[in-house]
Amino acid sequence: MNPATDQDPFTAALDQATTPSAYLDAAHRAVVHAATLAPSVHNSQPWRFTKDDDGVDLYADDARRLPVLDPEGRLVHLSCGAALLHAQVAARALGFLVEPRLLPDPADPGHLARLHLTAGAPGSGPDHELANAILLRHTHRDAFEERALPPELLTRLRLAAEEHGASLVRIAGDALIELEVLLAWADSIEEADPAYRAELASSVHTGPCDDGIPASALPDDPERGSSLRLRDFALRGPRPAGDEPPVAEKPDVVLIVSDDDGPLSWLQAGQAVGAVLLHAAHAGVMGQPLAQATDFPAARVRLRKALGLVGTPQLALRLGYAAGTSPTPRRNIDDALSDAAGRADR
């Protein structure tokens, strides 16, 4: 079952396992490690995991939910869906057959997924390539290069989203103008709320941290490089009158759309986001969420009507080639993982 360690970044510890049980334990930890590298709302990492001999369970960590931005837990589900996608990618690369069950326990809505893992054939080349992309993927918050994405990549991203029960729509032309208007409207509503501003400020850190967003990862000017209204984590306010307008970047923008607007669709959309970003990263393309346009129900309804969508828009993404990225920190795996009996796995 042990794949070639020179192909996959999550297998280094496996060669040190001297017994089958030790190998299985190390492999399940590697799967969870990959999951914790997923993108999450404001890098809040709102997940916790348990493991047993048969696989891994994923739970929402409600203590890490952002109550102002995410009162219904939608963004927690999107974030955890992306983590679940990362876990599946790593498990396949490690040679496991993967059987995911979403929302497996109706009596426990916080139990988001069960990932049943059984020994299988060594992971394929594409499995390892996608697993390697987990370490390449980072959210890019600055300007992108003036290079359009190739049509074949956009097709690949669309198919990746569809594999997880969502759809991907490219936003261009008049639709992009509609998105620009709705982003500005939604962002203005959010920034006018003092509770939102306080919550956003608490997500930015100037010193050492293991979650949230380091101030060093933010651009000097949040509007630089885009005609789209980007989230201003530094809360610097409107650009003063007379200042130079932002560079008129022509971004590639896509929108993840789900069938409806409930917990299952949120998880599926999160998996689609995770898959799209990994396939993009493998091609050297990074993403940035344009989340304000879908943060609250009224915004999602307005965007759906404005674009004539069938389904519910869940997340818009800028995609492009970036000269450099600033990775965000991650919690130690032992903070997010315990065994199935609840004992800390240390």
Are the beta carbons of 212 and 46 closer than 8 angstroms? Answer: no
pLDDT at 3: 39
Q: pLDDT at position 339, please?
A: 86
Distances (CA, A) of 222 to 140, 219, 231, 308: 12, 6, 7, 29
pLDDT of the residue at 120: 86
What confidence score (pLDDT) does residue 228 get? 81
Query: What residue type is 139 in one-letter code?
Result: T
Closest CA to 115 of 129, 102, 124: 102
For the chain, domains (ranges, CATH) are 12-138 (3.40.109.10), 151-320 (3.40.109.10)
Where do the DSSP E strands lie in 239-284? Answer: 252-258
pLDDT at 243: 58
**E-assigned strands of 5-76?**
47-52, 55-60
Q: Which two tokens stand for residue 317?
A: 């993404």
Mean pLDDT by 10 residues, the chain (346 residues): 46 68 88 96 97 96 97 98 97 94 97 95 88 93 87 98 97 94 94 96 92 85 67 70 60 94 98 98 95 96 96 96 81 91 44
- Rounded to an integer, what distance in angstroms lies between the CA atom of residue 295 and that of residue 193? 14
Q: Which of 171, 147, 169 is nearest to 158 (CA)?
A: 169
The DSSP H or E segment spanning 280 is helix 263-282
What is the chain's Cα-based Rg? 20
Cα–Cα–Cα angle for 103, 105, 108, nearest 5°?
95
The pLDDT score that the predictor gives to residue 24 is: 87
The reported pLDDT for the residue numbered 327 is 77
State the pLDDT at residue 344.
Answer: 40
Give me the residue label for tokens 């300007």.
143
Q: What is the pLDDT of residue 75?
A: 98
